[in-house]
């Protein structure tokens, strides 16, 4: 029983060291991968001087919209122009034989 506990401690320690080295290779803090939770995602470059002071909602809004919004506006404009053109046309009368 004592030997088994010692082996488990040894394995945990070895795993911790491997995770430390892995974190250092990736450029993270040495203790980043050894804790309970994964490291936080960094939205700004680590080489920038100022830290990112934006809230989570502000960062989330950066990824919303984009091309979807632009395409939607273009389609709306296209539809409006063509609708006005259609409604502004002269109405031609059909021949009597047509019905």
- What value, to the nearest 5°, has the Cα angle with vertex 72 and ends 66 and 77? 130
Rounded distance between C-alpha atoms, residue 8 and residue 77, angstroms: 68
- With a CB cutoff of 8 Å and minimum separation 6, the contacts of 32 are 23, 39
Token pair recorded at residue 29 = 């803090």
For 9-36, the pLDDT digits (tens) are 999 999 989 988 888 887 777 887 777 7
Rounded distance between C-alpha atoms, residue 12 and residue 9, angstroms: 5
Is the entire prediction scored with pTM above 0.95? no
Rounded distance between C-alpha atoms, residue 77 and residue 66, angstroms: 17
pLDDT category, 64, cuts 50, 70, 90?
A: confident
């Amino acid at each position: 029983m004592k030997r088994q506990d010692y082996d488990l401690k040894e394995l945990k320690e070895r795993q911790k060291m491997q995770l430390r080295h892995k974190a250092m290779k990736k450029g993270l803090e040495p203790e980043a991968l050894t804790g309970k939770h994964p490291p936080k995602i960094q939205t700004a470059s680590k080489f920038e001087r100022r830290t990112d002071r934006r809230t989570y909602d502000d960062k989330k809004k950066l990824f919303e919209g984009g091309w979807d919004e632009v395409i939607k506006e273009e389609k709306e404009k296209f539809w409006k122009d063509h609708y006005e053109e259609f409604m502004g046309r002269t109405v031609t009368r059909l021949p009597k034989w047509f019905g």
